Structure formats: C-alpha cells, structure tokens
Structure 1
Amino acid sequence: MKQGAQGSAVTGNPPGAGAPEVRTDAPRVPVQGRGAGVRQAQGDPVASARGEHTHSEPPMPRPLVQRASVRGQILDALRTALVSGELTPGAVYSAPALGERFGVSATPVREAMQQLALEGAVEVVPNRGFRVVERGARELAELAEVRALIEVPVMLRLARTVAAERWVELRPLAEATVRAAATGCRATYAESDRAFHRAVLSLCGNEQLVQVADDLHRRAQWPLVSPVRPSGRGNATLLADAAEHAALLDALIARDLDAVRSLAGEHFAGAR
C-alpha cells in the first residue's frame, strides 16, 4: 500500500477519501469433498456422466489462488503513517475509528496494531485503543549503535569476499534511494533505504541476521516525539543520506576497508 493510498486514514478526511482499496471480489474456489476425488479415481459412472475424469492418474495439483490480505494492507498503511509522522507520538487511536477511515472493520486494524505493539511502535491502552510510543534522541542513538555493531562487521567481511560485479548489481537500488529522497517523502525514502540495506546484508547468506537488522532499521525510522531537526527530514537531509549509499558501494567495490568502516559508521550515526 502506497503512502498516498492511506494518507487520510488518520487525518479525519471523509471515509473513502484516500482510503486503501480493499478487494472483496476475490475469486472463490469451490471446495471439493474427499468423496468426489475417490469416485473419480475409482471410475465412478456418476462422475463420468458429469464429464469428470475417471481414470486412475494422480490428480493434478490445484493452482494456489492469491487473496489480498486486508490485515497486511492495513499493517503497511499504519507503518507508513508511523514513518511519515501522521500517527502522532503519544496520541491514542482506536481500531473502530481507524477502520472506518480505511473502509474496513475494526478487526484487521486491531490485528495490525497488535503486530505493531509487538514491534514496539505502539502500546495497548485498555478500553481506548493504541498509543503511539513516544521516543527520544537517546533511543535513536542506541538503535544506531546496535545497527552499527551488527552491520559494519558484516560489511567488512563482505568487502573482503564479494566480487565487485555483485556490488555493481546493487547500484540501481542505491540510485532508487536518491530518487526517493528527492520526493521529500519520509515513507517513500524509508522503504527504499531498507531495501538497499537488506540487499547488502543478504549477501552474507544469513537470513536471521537480515531479519534482525531490518527490524532494527524499521524502528530507527519512526519519528521522535521531539525531532532532532525541528523541520524533520527535508529533501537535503534525505539526499545526503542517500548519497552515502553510492559512496559505500564504491568503497565495497574497491575493497577499501577503512573507507567502508568510516562511511558505514557515519551513515548509522547520522541516520534520521
């Protein structure tokens, strides 16, 4: 779900204005009973009369029907609203009210909020809803330190072992972060920023590490209750942050370990 699709979900715009489209016309696949399959396999004349296969060949696997996940769409929308600051730190939001804005029931909103509570983005307020967690500069600095402790050693190891051609393949992702930064949209940039870092770390082959690092990265992108910069992350700040991705790739390609260590450290320390 795109940022624009959910922008009015928490601002009080009329229901349906900018709300995410939730499809309810997903194709239904009739469930075939076990008995029908047995009759087909045994050559049931009734099944034959209906034009069904009656030979003893094993049945063909049924294609999987992809159904849109309402909960997943709402979760993406809420995460975008968190990053953009539309969900205000310290404010309490009820599932029914948000559900009305999204054009869905309160259930998928409540489920999505419970996931955000597990991630530490919101906390449950009994009989009221969910409060967006208020974060300070200290927590941001701690997250940056932990990210550096995890990612910098991995990048240094990869710089020694990964061929230059593999790093060149990541150039489009680095360029995508620059384009996203140029929009000035925090949510758009946050998504492309995480995509670049996931691609770099994925070269280590440790999926658990990639997941932990991505979770920390997401938490580091939530806004502060008192932003370090009063105006938030403007285009210039985002563009400077994005430019560091290209510089980091250059250092990785050159296997310049000192440059990798310095650039990565500065990147995490200045992340916001």
Structure 2
Amino acid sequence: MPGSEAVRRTTLREQIADALRDEVIAGRLPAGRQFTVKEIAEQYGVSATPVREALLDLCAQGLLGVEMHKGYRVREFTYADFRDMVEARSLIVEGIFRRSPDRALGAVTPSALASVRRRAEEASRAAAAGDLDILIGYDLRFWRELAAIVGNPYISGFLNTVRVQGWVFTVPLLRRMPTLRGRLWSGHSELVEAVARQNAVEVERIITAYNQHSLALIEASRPV
C-alpha cells in the first residue's frame, strides 16, 4: 500500500523523538552533549531519515540546537531561563481559568476528571517519596491531561513544551541533592480537587504556591 510506509516512517519518527526526549529529560543526554544523525541512527538501528525528522522535532521544541557541520547539541538552559519558564507556565495556566473560569472548569467531564485524578495520585505519591524518575512521567501526563480538559490543544501543547524544558533544566540540579523525599511539589491531587469543585480562586492559589516552591527549590540547588 502506498501510504503504509509513510505511516510507519511517521510512527518511527515519533518513537525516536519520544525516546530521545526521555533521554534528555533524564539527563542521560546531558546539556551541551553533541551528536550526529549517523550516531543516533546507528544507536537505534534505523535509517537516517526518521532520525533527522525526530531531531528537527526536538529542535522545534527547544530541546536541541543545530550546529553547522557538527550535528546537534542538547540545549543548555540557565537559571534565568528557568525563571522565564515558570513565568510562562504560570501565564498559560492562569490564562486558562481567567479567560472564563466557569467555561474552563465547567467543561470538565466526570470521566476526564477521573483520569486526571489517577495521574494526580500517582504523581503525588512519587513526589512525596522523592522518586524523581517516576514523578517526571506522571507529572508530564498529569499536566497534559489537565490542560487538555480545561483548555484547548494549542494551549496544552505550549504548556507541555515549557514543562519539558523545565524538567530538562531541573533534573541535573535535583539529582545533586542528598534526598528529594518531602522536597518535591506534591500538590497534584489538591489541584485536581479544586478543579473538581470549580473553585478558580483556589486553583490560582495552588498554582501560585507551586511556582514559588519551584523557584525556591531550584534556588536552593545553586552551588555555594
């Protein structure tokens, strides 16, 4: 079939992009790391085309940069970048509710809320336990689902991009801490319950506290 190969190629492209994104977030492809299309293609045992497409996708998401005649480099974010990320994600989330709180919160269906609630519980448990690797996956899924049910696909996409970039910057710093138990934000379930009650004021309070927590935690990770 003429279209079957294109579908497989697109799927492979997405799979490679997802795998590399996970490697970058986890810090296994650290900031500043250089690599080529050939290197990644050999690593995954695939042709260069889907790898090149996947790398361009990650460039568009701000995770990689292209270096002339050298290939690609994992982007290096700064503390100033992270402060801007927190501001950006705050504006995105607050904008969802401020544009029309009743419309945003009233659009939440019981089935969608149940799914987000499960993600919230899993993320909260991982955060409380200080299990960073488990938290990252659940946290990203939680925010994607929450944004999807109260916003629109474009808003959800913007928020996910900013959150991925935020994890890329914070993960190496958090791994330096002797313990993360009790130090990571675990208010996911509290936020979901505020959404379920359609309490926009409480949602805003929780988001503000979360952003302050994020900035304080990363500030505490600065080298002395």
Which structure has the bigger radius of gyration?
Answer: 1
Tell me the SS of whatever aligns to 1:86: coil
Q: Is 1:203 the counterpart of 2:149 in the alignment?
A: yes
- Mark the runs of 5 or more structure 2 residues left unpaired by the alignment: 219-224
Q: Is 1:161 the counterpart of 2:103 in the alignment?
A: no
Paired amino acid for 1:82 = V
TM-score with structure 2 setting the length:
0.76
CA-to-partner distance for each residue in 1:45-102, whole Å, 9 max, x for gaps?
xxxxxxxxxxxxxxxxxx9x96372222111111001100111111211221222222
- Mark the runs of 5 or more structure 1 residues left unpaired by the alignment: 1-28, 32-62
Q: Say whether the 8 Å CA contact 1:89–1:224 is kept in structure 2.
A: no
Task: Identify the residue that residue 139 of structure 2 maps to in structure 1.
Answer: 193
Of 16, 21, 29, the residue aligned with 1:74 is: 16
Q: Is 1:184 the counterpart of 2:136 in the alignment?
A: no
Q: Say whether the 8 Å CA contact 2:124–2:189 is kept in structure 1.
A: no
Q: Say whether the 8 Å CA contact 1:135–1:224 is kept in structure 2.
A: no
TM-score with structure 1 setting the length:
0.64
Residue 226 (structure 1) shift: 7.1
Residue 110 (structure 1) shift: 2.3
Of 120, 123, 126, the residue aligned with 1:174 is: 120
Q: Say whether the 8 Å CA contact 1:134–1:224 is kept in structure 2.
A: no
Alignment of 1:22-41 (within 5 A): 29=1
Runs of 4+ that moved beyond 6 A: none
Task: Identify the residue that residue 53 of structure 2 maps to in structure 1.
Answer: 111
Alignment of 1:95-106 (within 5 A): 95-106=37-48
Task: Identify the residue that residue 259 of structure 1 maps to in structure 2.
Answer: 202
Q: Say whether the 8 Å CA contact 2:25–2:171 is kept in structure 1.
A: no
Q: Say whether the 8 Å CA contact 1:82–1:223 is kept in structure 2.
A: no
**Root-mean-square deviation over aligned CA pairs:** 3.4
Q: Pick closer, same or farther for the CA change 1:155–1:199 going to 2, 3 Å.
A: farther
Q: Say whether the 8 Å CA contact 1:135–1:223 is kept in structure 2.
A: yes
CA-to-partner distance for each residue in 1:112-163, whole Å, 9 max, x for gaps?
1122112221111122211111111111110111111110242461576356
Of 84, 89, 99, the residue aligned with 2:26 is: 84
Tell me the SS of whatever aligns to 1:170: helix
Q: Pick closer, same or farther for the CA change 1:183–1:80 going to 2, 3 Å.
A: farther
% identical aligned pairs: 25
